[in-house]
């Protein structure tokens, strides 16, 4: 059996759980093709793992994998960026942290970690049969949480959070600023300013808010007509600014574009100047804005919208348009988008209804979940709410 790896003094604190099965790479044999070549090329042909795509085994390396030592080809880079901050409803990331594949995943049991790994990555890069052993363990922590940095061929990068930000800044086509994710002991309770829509229920169900002075804080305003910069500065600083057009069934007391103008005005007041601390914003349209209004949003917020549909049984139940700098909201891996005609019919049906509809809690949860990488949360199990 291979010797226990030396403790990485720069590693982040974690649960003391030892990984099993990393000795299976000691005598690789020539495989056929594909990812099975990685171990053979590194162990026998002495190829630098940075010259091999960690995700697919290709030698056409475009860049370095941000989390682990190894390369990444251009198609796998795009796939990784698209899945980087996508989460399931249980609060865990939806795709493998190494190759970004879905399917059955091994989940890290560290309550402060949300990462998952596919069986194939674990067996190929750590050792054959390791995924089965990990699956049988009752308390497994992942390769980014372990007290040692190497498991088989899988070597965690030092200061991987900085590498992740640099990777996003360099490779992403998005103009949005990417903030460096924070280790759990540096995360502070979130401070939220919500305009025209109360999101306390959503944030509480995610563990961002709760009772106690050391937990997250939310200030909700419906009337912002007389709010000036001095007010926002006295109430803040804020970590998240949320604004929305009125939800379905609620009165629209102003022209829909008015909510955009006021949101943009207060965004200028709330945005920190000369600070690198994470600051996020989100503007949600409950299908109130017409095409001309949507063009105004693009000009004011300088980004394309993301349409997030609520589809049940193949039927479009609802949808929201979202503009935000929260990571992954515009990922192409979201549900298939409805057509503009479908959205127009849905908007007309909503406006003709006099009854308030259920708030899009499920849709908003999927948007807020990436904030767990930046701010402290106070629950380990996501609760459902209606």
Q: Each residue of 336-375: pLDDT tens digit?
A: 555 566 556 555 555 555 444 554 556 677 788 889 889 9
**pTM as predicted:** 0.79
Do 244 and 334 fall within a single domain? yes
Domain final residue, candidates 140, 171, 202: 171
Out of 3-12, 53-62, 320-329, the most confident range is 53-62
**Rounded Cα gap, residues 169 and 196, in angstroms:** 33
Q: What pLDDT, in 10s, does the model give residues 190-223?
A: 999 999 888 888 888 888 887 666 778 999 998 8
More confidently predicted of 340 and 384: 340
Q: Identify whether 241 is part of a domain.
A: yes
Out of 17-31, 249-263, 321-335, the most confident range is 249-263
List C-alpha distances in Å: 27 to 40, 59, 119, 337.
9, 22, 21, 48
Mean pLDDT of 130-141: 87
More confidently predicted of 170 and 16: 170
Domain final residue, candidates 171, 193, 222: 171
Q: Identify whether 92 is part of a domain.
A: yes
- Terminal Cα distance for the chain, rounded: 52
Range of the domain at 214: 184-373
Do 163 and 211 fall within a single domain? no
Q: What pLDDT, in 10s, does the model give residues 9-54?
A: 344 444 444 444 444 455 556 655 678 888 888 888 889 999 999 9
**Rounded Cα gap, residues 192 and 123, in angstroms:** 43
Contacts 24+ apart (CB under 8 A), 56-64: 56/99, 57/33, 63/167, 63/170, 63/171, 64/163, 64/167
Tokens in use for 341? 């005609």
Do 236 and 135 fall within a single domain? no
Do 221 and 249 fall within a single domain? yes
| Mean pLDDT of the chain, nearest integer | 80
Do 251 and 189 fall within a single domain? yes
Q: Give per-residue burial for 193-229: e unless 16+ CB within 10 Å, then b.
A: bbbbbbbeebbbbbbbbeeeeebbebeebeebeebee
Q: What is the pLDDT of residue 79?
A: 92
Q: What pLDDT, in 10s, does the model give residues 223-246?
A: 899 999 999 999 989 999 999 988
Secondary structure (3-state) at 10? coil
Do 164 and 226 fall within a single domain? no
């Amino acid at each position: 059996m291979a010797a226990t790896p030396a403790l990485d003094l720069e590693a982040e604190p974690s649960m003391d759980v030892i990984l099993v099965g990393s000795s299976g790479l000691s005598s690789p044999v020539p495989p056929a093709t594909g990812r099975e070549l990685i171990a053979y090329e590194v162990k026998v042909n002495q190829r630098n793992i940075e010259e091999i795509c960690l995700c697919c085994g290709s030698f056409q390396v475009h860049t370095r994998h941000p989390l682990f030592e190894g390369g990444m080809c251009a198609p796998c880079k795009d796939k990784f960026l698209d899945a980087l901050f996508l989460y399931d409803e249980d609060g865990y990331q939806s795709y493998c942290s190494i190759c970004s594949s879905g399917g059955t995943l091994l989940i890290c049991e560290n309550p402060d970690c949300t990462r998952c790994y596919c069986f194939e990555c674990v067996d190929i890069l750590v050792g054959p049969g390791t995924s089965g052993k990990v699956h049988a363990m009752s308390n497994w922590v992942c390769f980014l949480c372990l007290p040692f940095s190497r498991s088989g061929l899988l070597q965690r990068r030092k200061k991987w959070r900085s590498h992740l930000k640099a990777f996003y800044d360099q490779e992403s086509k998005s103009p949005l600023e990417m903030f460096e994710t924070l280790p759990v002991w540096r995360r502070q309770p979130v401070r939220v300013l919500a305009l025209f829509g109360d999101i306390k229920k959503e944030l509480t169900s995610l563990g961002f808010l709760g009772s106690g002075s050391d937990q997250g804080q939310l200030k909700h305003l419906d009337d912002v007509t007389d709010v000036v910069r001095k007010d926002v500065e006295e109430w803040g600083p804020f970590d998240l600014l949320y604004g929305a057009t009125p939800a379905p069934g609620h009165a629209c007391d102003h022209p829909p574009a008015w909510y955009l103008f006021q949101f943009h005005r207060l965004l200028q007041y709330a945005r920190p100047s000369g600070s690198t601390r994470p600051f996020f914003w989100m503007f949600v349209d409950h299908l109130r804005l017409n095409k001309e209004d949507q063009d105004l949003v693009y000009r004011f917020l300088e980004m394309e919208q993301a349409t997030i549909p609520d589809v049940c049984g193949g039927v479009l139940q609802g949808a929201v348009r979202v503009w935000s700098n929260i990571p992954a909201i515009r990922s192409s891996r979201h549900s298939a988008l409805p057509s503009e005609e479908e959205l127009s019919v849905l908007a007309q049906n909503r406006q003709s209804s006099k009854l308030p509809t259920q708030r899009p809690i499920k849709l908003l949860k999927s948007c807020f979940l990436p904030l767990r990488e930046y701010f402290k949360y106070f629950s380990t199990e996501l609760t459902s709410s209606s």
